[in-house]
Amino acid sequence: MGLPEHGTAVSAPGKVMLAGGYLVLDRAYTGLVFGLSARINVIAQEIHTSKGVHLTEIVVESPQFLEAQWRYGYHLAEADGGIKVTQLQVGSHLTANPFVETTLNFALTYIARTSKHRPTHAVKSARLTILADNDYYSQPASPSAPTSNSSNSSSTTTPPASTLNALTTSRFARFPVPLSGAHKTGLGSSAALVTSLTAALLSHYLPTSLFDITSAEGKKILHNLAQAAHCAAQGKVGSGFDVAAAVYGSSLYRRFSPSVLSALPEAGTPGFAPALEKVVKDEEGKIWDAEILKDKISLPEGMAVRMCDVDCGSQTVGMVKSVLAWRAREGEAAGELWGELQRRNEHLAGALRGGRTGEVREAVRGVRELVRKMGVESGVPIEPESQTELLDALEGVEGVYGGVVPGAGGFDALALLVRDDKETEARVEEFVKGWSREKGSRVRLLPVRGEMEGARKEELGVYEGWIR
């Protein structure tokens, strides 16, 4: 299949919060966040129609999964409500995707408001293709079962676990299930999706004079707009560290005040468009108070962040609510624990930034000790016993400095600090294979690793065979 002549491709990385889970919800504390080499990619293209045929439609598709296509009409809402999209029926299925829909409402509104054209002329029909690097989804190692390659298959039956593996060994696997049936590894797919989709739309519709992803101003606009959309899509909860990582890459992060976005009207309601434009542009620099410090985070030479998938996944929102409820109940005692955990997190960050590899193992153990204590006292499995057992055992593998259950914890992929060489990688892979056999579980070392870069433009050639 040849490549199209025109199109815009953007990617944004996933994330791992090595230290600062839960604490980062409070502006008094910070989080140590690494971007990851696993990326969500979005390719934006015009939809060409026959002469005389006029469409006002946005088509979004994720061809790696079954039935993963969403079509939207759009119109200009009254009373400065911005551009509002409406999902259209596709065959007999109508599956909502709140992250895609909300991002379209926010990004198209900003584009129409900012463009020099009339709002209704600023947005033409487009096709957006989403491709996720394989590390975002668990892929059991059993042989693949025969299945249709069509993303429009009418089957909604989820195959047994033994068949939920990639149908290709390429960078973008094809899965024989709908998106809802895939097992996520917990690398921040929603934030990376919203960020890359926002960046692709801005790059596709606006000239570089109004949006340039390579400039500091462009990154500011992308960050503010993606934060607003992601926050709205998930019910105005969360600290925004995952979107910050998707835009800027690895950093020491302090969250923005919740008041920055709490007063923003809902998409399509009166006054939404000018309010969104004001908060995104922040022309006087007085609205956003997040701190994203890239120079405060680094790794010693010869050390890498790696991820170890345990193929379970966690319900982060419910865990966060429970921990915050515990903190509110316990007051002073919880505050003391958080303060000490912040100090230990800062010690770990300093050891990494300063290249003091001899301090890393004990620093990681100190962080884990208090994270487990927080879990016990709040009744939330932040570091479940099975994860504790696995992390303790991994510490015994030569070349492993230590590991954590990152972010909010639970059963998402583990983060490991390891010696960055092939011998250590081979030892860890051999260990997790043996562990999986012995425990009857599915544990694997993911190819993904920590990296510093955030959102960026990509060449279309990377996606040959996936785009029209």
Give pLDDT, residue 172.
93
| Beta carbons within 10 angstroms of residue 272's beta carbon | 24
Q: What gap in Å lies between CA 190 and CA 174, rounded to an integer?
A: 19
Query: What's the predicted TM-score (pTM) here?
Result: 0.90
Contact 294, 454 (CB under 8 A): no
165 pLDDT higher than 50: no
Confidence band (pLDDT; 50, 70, 90) for 314?
low
Residue 124: how many CA atoms within 13 Å on its side-chain side?
Answer: 12
Give pLDDT, residue 318.
82
Q: What gap in Å lies between CA 207 and CA 374, rounded to an integer?
A: 49
Is residue 84 within a helix (H) or strand (E), and if so which, with residue range? strand 83-88
Span 196-222, pLDDT tens digits:
999 999 999 999 999 999 999 999 999
More confident residue, 49 or 53: 49
Give pLDDT, residue 104.
98
Domain parsing of the chain, residue ranges: 8-149+164-293+459-463, 301-451
CA distances from 397 to 236, 304, 388, 402, 417 (A): 41, 15, 15, 10, 12
Q: What is the average pLDDT across 159-172?
A: 52
- List the CATH code of the domain at 301-451: 3.30.70.890
Q: What is the average pLDDT across 224-232?
A: 97
Confidence band (pLDDT; 50, 70, 90) for 163?
very low
**DSSP3 helix / strand / coil % (the chain, rounded to 5):** 40, 20, 40
Strands 57-61 and 126-132 come out as parallel
30 pLDDT higher than 50: yes
316 pLDDT higher than 50: yes
Structure tokens given for 300: 């010693």
Q: What gap in Å lies between CA 362 and CA 351, rounded to an integer?
A: 10
250 pLDDT higher than 80: yes
Span 359-409, pLDDT tens digits:
999 999 999 999 999 999 999 999 999 999 999 999 999 999 999 999 999
Fold equal for 8-149+164-293+459-463 and 301-451: no
More confident residue, 115 or 264: 264
Could you tell me the fold of the domain covering 8-149+164-293+459-463?
Ribosomal Protein S5; domain 2 (3.30.230)
Confidence band (pLDDT; 50, 70, 90) for 146?
very low
Span 402-443, pLDDT tens digits:
999 999 999 889 999 999 999 999 999 999 999 999 998 889
Span 264-296, pLDDT tens digits:
999 999 999 999 999 999 999 999 999 999 999
Mean pLDDT for all residues in the chain: 89
Q: φ, ψ for residue 128 (rounded to 5)?
A: -120, 120
Helices (H) then strands (E): counts for the chain:
12, 13
